[in-house]
Amino acid sequence: MAEQIQQFETVHGNISQSLNDTAEATINKSLFLISVGSNDILEFFYFNLSNNHNFSDASLKLNKFSSMLRTTYISHLKNLLNLGARKFGVLSVPAIGCVPIATNGSGYCVKELNSFAGFFYIMLDGVLQGLKSEFPDMKYSLGNSYDITYSITNNPSSLVETQIGHG
């Protein structure tokens, strides 16, 4: 995400040169869609916790990681806000404990990964609320990808029924 924000800084400069006085208004009206965190969490889990079958023993590492992830997310969003971004569509982490790399083909979701994905949604909600109080003109919508993907994974027939029912 840091690299993408850096690229946006370049685009921001180009927009400012092209649009002059209307550049900030244009950027303020733009929607910034953000969906990050899945790979970070999967990578952390496999490099730090996958060999430790007692997840409660790994709670200190997990707490440090959570704090670092939260701090980094806030920093990135503040960078965008300082560049004029005001409208955000944020997608939380899906049920990553159910993705094939996590299940190792077993068909069983990894409960600890899914628990962290659910926690990540709550953390993001708090981060966005905090930034909203700091930047009152900020608008956001937070999508709960975890609930959506978890319900589909655990009851795929409901998706088919819904699609058939709505034509």
CA distance 94 to 146: 4
Predicted pLDDT of residue 121 = 93
Length of the chain (residues): 167
CB atoms within 10 A of CB 90: 22
HSE at residue 82, side-chain half, CA atoms within 13 A, is 9
CA angle 164, 166, 167 (to 5 degrees): 65
pTM, 2 dp: 0.80
| C-alpha dist (Å) from residue 32 to 70, 84, 154 | 19, 11, 31
Nearest residue to 147 via CA among 125, 128, 127: 125
145-154 and 111-134 helices, crossing angle to 10°: 160
Give the pair of three-digit tokens for residue 50. 């996958």
Predicted pLDDT of residue 165 = 41
CA distance 143 to 30: 18
Predicted pLDDT of residue 150 = 84
Predicted pLDDT of residue 158 = 66
Parts of the chain with a pLDDT under 50: 162-167
Q: Do strands 87-91 and 31-34 pair parallel, antiparallel, or not at all (unpaired)?
A: parallel
Predicted pLDDT of residue 163 = 45
Predicted pLDDT of residue 152 = 80
CA distance 8 to 26: 14
CA angle 150, 155, 157 (to 5 degrees): 135
CA distance 56 to 59: 5
For 102-106, the CB contacts below 8 A with 24+ separation are: 102/42, 102/45
pLDDT in tens, 75-111: 999 999 998 999 999 999 999 998 888 888 787 888 8
